[in-house]
C-alpha cells in the first residue's frame, strides 16, 4: 500500500512540475508569437510565396553572381533566412539563421534576399484577417 501511495505521489509531482514548465514557457513567449504558432484550420492560411522555392534560389543565385562577380561560388551553398511577414505582404526583421558563408557576408545576403523576394509574399490570415507571421526560408547559391 505504501509503495502504491509513493508511486502515485511521484507521478503527481512529475505532472505538476511539467505543468509549471509549460506555463513558464508560455509566459516567455512574445505577444504575437501565439498567433504565429496556432495550428492551421479552415479559418487560417499560412504565409505563401508567389514564387516557387526553386525559382527563388535561381533568382537569388543570379542576383548574387551579378552583384559579387568576383566571389562566385564553386559549389552549392545554402542560406536559411528568418522573416516576419507583415499583414501587407512585406518582409521585416530579416536575419540569417544559418549559412555556408562567412558571417561578414550576412548583411549582403540579407540585402539580396530582400531585393529578390520583394512583392513575393502572400501574408497569413486568421479568420479572414491578414496577420503577421514568422517565416523561415532556405535558399541556395548554386555553384558553377
Q: Which residue has the higher pLDDT, 26 or 96?
A: 96
Q: How far apart are CA 89 and CA 78, in angstroms?
A: 24
**pLDDT for the residue numbered 44:** 81
pLDDT tens-digit series, residues 4-16: 655 555 545 554 5
CB 96 within 8 A of CB 114: no
Q: Is 33 left (phi over 0), alpha (psi -120 to 50) or beta?
A: alpha
45 and 65 together in one domain: yes
Task: Give the span between the Cα atoms of 95 and 14, in whole angstroms.
Answer: 38
Examine the domain organization and report whether 17 and 42 are in the same domain: no
pTM of the model: 0.65
Q: Does residue 67 share a domain with residue 14?
A: no
Nearest residue to 133 (alpha-carbon basis) of 32, 29, 30, 36: 36
**What pLDDT is recorded for position 72?**
77
Find the domain containing 44 and state its range.
38-141
* Same-domain pairing of 66 and 98: yes
Total count of domains within the chain: 2
* 138 close to 100: Cβ distance less than 8 angstroms: no
pLDDT for the residue numbered 7: 53
Per-residue pLDDT band for 67 (boundaries 50, 70, 90) equals confident
Q: Tell me, what CATH number does 96's domain have?
A: 3.30.2420
Q: Decide if pLDDT at 124 tops 80.
A: yes
To the nearest whole number, what is the mean pLDDT of the chain? 77
Question: Which pLDDT band, with edges at 50, 70 and 90, does 120 fall under?
Answer: confident
Strands (E), 36-90: 44-45, 48-49, 77-85
The arithmetic mean of pLDDT across residues 54-73, rounded, is 85
- Whether 55 and 120 map to the same domain: the answer is yes
- Predicted pLDDT at 52: 87
Half-sphere exposure in the Cβ direction for 104 (13 Å, CA)? 0
In a shared domain, residues 21 and 62: no
Amino acid at each position: 500500500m505504501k509503495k502504491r501511495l509513493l508511486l502515485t505521489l511521484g507521478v503527481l509531482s512529475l505532472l505538476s512540475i511539467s505543468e509549471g514548465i509549460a506555463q513558464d514557457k508560455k509566459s516567455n513567449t512574445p505577444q504575437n508569437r501565439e498567433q504565429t504558432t496556432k495550428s492551421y484550420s479552415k479559418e487560417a492560411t499560412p504565409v505563401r510565396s508567389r514564387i516557387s522555392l526553386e525559382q527563388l534560389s535561381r533568382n537569388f543565385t543570379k542576383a548574387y553572381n551579378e552583384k559579387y562577380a568576383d566571389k562566385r561560388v564553386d559549389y552549392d551553398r545554402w542560406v536559411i533566412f528568418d522573416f516576419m511577414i507583415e499583414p501587407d505582404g512585406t518582409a521585416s526583421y530579416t536575419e540569417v539563421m544559418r549559412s555556408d558563408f562567412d558571417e561578414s557576408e550576412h548583411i549582403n545576403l540579407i540585402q539580396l534576399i530582400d531585393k529578390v523576394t520583394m512583392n513575393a509574399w502572400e501574408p497569413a490570415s486568421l479568420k479572414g484577417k491578414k496577420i503577421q507571421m514568422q517565416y523561415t526560408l532556405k535558399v541556395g547559391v548554386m555553384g558553377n
